[in-house]
Structure 1
Amino acid sequence: MIPYANKHKMTGDDVTENAYYSQDLHGPYEMHDIGDLPLEEGGTLRGCQLAVARHGTLNAAKDNVILIPTWYSGTSKIMEQVYIGPGRALDTDKYHIIIVNQIGNGLSTSPHNTAGPSGAGHFPHVRIGDDVRAQHRLLTEKLGISSLALVVGGSMGAQQTYEWAVRYPDMVRRAAPIAGTARNTQHDFLFTQTLVDAITSDPGFNHGFYASPADVRAGLLRHAKMWAVMGWSTEFYQHGRMAQLGFSSLDDFVVNFMFGYFGVMDPNDLICMAWKWQRGDVARMAGGDLAAALGRVKAKMFVMPISHDMFFPVADCERECKLVPGAQLRVLNSIDGHLALFGADPGFMPQLEGHLRELLAS
């Protein structure tokens, strides 16, 4: 069942049923109705719902909160499985960790679970700033939280981390954008467009009004292959990482891992997230002046690119790091490239944990 479907009286004509987005696979998470959310590009998400996973205990001062926004295609579940836990840097015995699923990721309000007339192919454009304003409303108005010990996220989660640090500088004490930039580059915009085009060029996409993701199988497979090209590095393939992960051939890896991962997802949801990924830019809060926007940051910040990332290369992240007062560049070494974020490289997490412990101790 789609979360909160009965509340919105969704019908088969209004939504695309998808059992992948369920409590069974991605829970436990709570649904929070934050009310109507006017969007920066125009339009409104009525009764905007945020899917939220909370771990650890909120202290009396409400100042031990770590916020984790999600990345493209990801949900709170992978953050729970890979990044947090007792005794970890993101310690659930010490901190109250709040993982908020971004709008459009399939758990929170998304194209596939929004009733007509504004669902599916009519879902409005959402920006990173809309996500962060929604999260701010949740934290301050619903949960009574006014201070964040840390905001940390990877990829699109890094875009949201930057947005938080610039938009609400007095609320964010520490920030750790991992494998992401404050302003998306033209190169990354163009590549992300190929991900979108791979889906929308499938005749089964039908302008976003398909009956099932299975109707868009060819498009989702092309999308998965493009991720196989850019998500991992050339060294990932040269060093036999596919075999180390249990795959016997390139075809085995592409079909059973990459397509196995993306093929069950809703195409409109992926396009919603890709559109805002392409347009991530904190400079919008300073009249287009990136230096002025990043100069507003008061948080202690560690900028953490991944050495072999082909989406957000180290040089792009380093240029922005120099614009943030007091920020430090901490490169995470992994030949897995951008998708080292999945945590499959055993050398990746110890590096990340060490930097986060240092940041949290500062």
Structure 2
Amino acid sequence: MSAELTPYKVFEAGNVALQCGITLVGAKLAYATYGRLNAAKDNVIVYPTRYGGSHADNEFLLKPGMALDPEKYFIFVPNMLGNGISSSPSNTPIPLAGPDFPAITQYDNVLLQERLLREVFGIEQIRLAAGWSMGGQQAFHWAALFPDRVAAMACFCGQAITAGHTYVFLEGVRHALITDPAWMQGRYSEQPWRGMTAKGRVWAGWVLSQDWFRQELWRDMGYVSVEDYLKNVWDAMYYGLDANDMLSMIRTWQACDISANPLYNGDRKAALAAITARSIVMPCRTDFYFPPEDNAAEVAQMPNAELRVIDSVWGHYAGGGRNAPDTAFIDAALKELLA
């Protein structure tokens, strides 16, 4: 996680039956809340975490005066299963520890989040479900699985269904990890640091655009060369995280499909058409993971959705708070959805 961990709570969910057919014994969902729940319980925003991130990484959008204002809303930020804080390969006991941790879907994540809100807070209605990247995948799932309970949805630099090209990109990242001899089929005695470094270098070429590198925007960050930037930013990006956790989240990402559940039985058209929430889907023009064309195909099948492209050279990072104009673009759309 890129942000220092801030306080959070843990929902002890007991034994949870997962889509893969395995029971996650003693499941734990870590979460943070910001702001106060009003008496009507109608000021709730669900804002899930992204790949490799924690609730603290979402805080760049949670400020007074911004759309996700803790002084107005009760903002629920659940940590995705597999991220190292909620139940994950690194913190689950044998026999589900490490590489034996079961496959998690976004359906599993969102059903557990819904259960927490209902059982702990008595919350039924969601004013807005929103998220970046894998957080956006979960926002899509919220809107499709609970269409009568989610009033608005925003996805920035994410998708409802992982595209084939993105699946292949993730295979490259996954193999950067598992081909490190120290990985040892996930039963490593120390983290596979060479694999982690390789993973960072692979990711660096995908998360930002050719235009970003062409403009040498790494110079604005204080680096004197591309290699200087890679060495100081990306080589240690995933140090401190667990390789099996990283692989678990990749597996979840690759399997993302809002129709792959008992409600829609693989009917993607029906799942997208069921999203009646007022929705704004915001891909970045230069995002290699989630290009506008993929989102356009999804939005075309949604009855109350708009495609709003972020015109930025920051690629996937346009959705993650790295560039102020991009963040302002997203914030403006969220304000519209909450108006």
Q: TM-score range by the shorter chain?
A: over 0.9
Equivalence for 2:176 = 198
Equivalence for 2:286 = 308
1:107 to 85, 89, 93: 85
1:185-208 Cα offsets, whole Å, 9 max, x none, are 111111111111110111101111
Query: Are positions 1:279 and 2:255 aligned together?
Result: yes
Q: Could you tell me which amino acid in structure 2 is paired with residue 74 of structure 1? A: G
Instruction: Give the Cα separation in 2 of the matches to 1:26 and 1:259.
Output: 21
Tell whether the 8 Å contact from 2:66 to 2:331 is kept in structure 1 after alignment: yes
> Where does structure 2 lack aligned partners over 5 or more consecutive residues?
none
Query: Are positions 1:226 and 2:205 aligned together?
Result: no
Instruction: Give the Cα separation in 2 of the matches to 1:201 and 1:92.
Output: 44
1:58-108 Cα offsets, whole Å, 9 max, x none, are 10011101011111101111111x111111111110001110000001111
What root-mean-square deviation, in Å, do the aligned CA atoms of Structure 1 and Structure 2 show? 1.4
1:166-186 Cα offsets, whole Å, 9 max, x none, are 111111111001111111111
Q: Helix, strand or coil for the counterpart of 1:197? A: helix
Query: Are positions 1:55 and 2:34 aligned together?
Result: yes
Where in structure 2 are the equivalents of 1:200-279 lying within 5 Å? 200-213=178-191, 216-279=192-255
Equivalence for 1:13 = none
Equivalence for 1:84 = 62
Tell whether the 8 Å contact from 2:197 to 2:236 is kept in structure 1 after alignment: no
Equivalence for 1:17 = none
Instruction: Give the Cα separation in 2 of the matches to 1:60 and 1:205.
Output: 51
> Where does structure 1 lack aligned partners over 5 or more consecutive residues?
1-19
- How many pairs were matched up? 337
Equivalence for 1:357 = 335
Tell whether the 8 Å contact from 1:334 to 1:345 is kept in structure 2 after alignment: no
The range that moved more, 167-176 or 338-347, is 338-347
Equivalence for 2:137 = 159
Query: Are positions 1:97 and 2:75 aligned together?
Result: yes
Query: How much does 1:212 deviate?
Result: 2.8
The range that moved more, 334-343 or 232-241, is 334-343
Equivalence for 1:294 = 272
Instruction: Give the Cα separation in 2 of the matches to 1:344 and 1:220.
Output: 22
Tell whether the 8 Å contact from 1:103 to 1:110 is kept in structure 2 after alignment: yes
Instruction: Give the Cα separation in 2 of the matches to 1:259 and 1:161.
Output: 31
State the TM-score, normalized to the length of structure 1: 0.90
Equivalence for 1:134 = 112
Instruction: Give the Cα separation in 2 of the matches to 1:75 and 1:271.
Output: 16
1:26-62 Cα offsets, whole Å, 9 max, x none, are 1211111122111101111111111111110110011
Instruction: Give the Cα separation in 2 of the matches to 1:280 and 1:248.
Output: 39
Q: Could you tell me which amino acid in structure 2 is paired with residue 163 of structure 1? A: H
Q: Could you tell me which amino acid in structure 2 is paired with residue 295 of structure 1? A: A
Instruction: Give the Cα separation in 2 of the matches to 1:287 and 1:171.
Output: 21
1:244-272 Cα offsets, whole Å, 9 max, x none, are 12222222222221222212211000100
Query: How much does 1:109 deviate?
Result: 0.7
Q: Helix, strand or coil for the counterpart of 1:36? A: strand
Q: Could you tell me which amino acid in structure 1 is paired with residue 195 of structure 2? A: G
Instruction: Give the Cα separation in 2 of the matches to 1:25 and 1:178.
Output: 23
- Write out the 4+ residue segments of structure 1 that deviate beyond 6 Å after TM superposition: none
Q: Helix, strand or coil for the counterpart of 1:206? A: helix
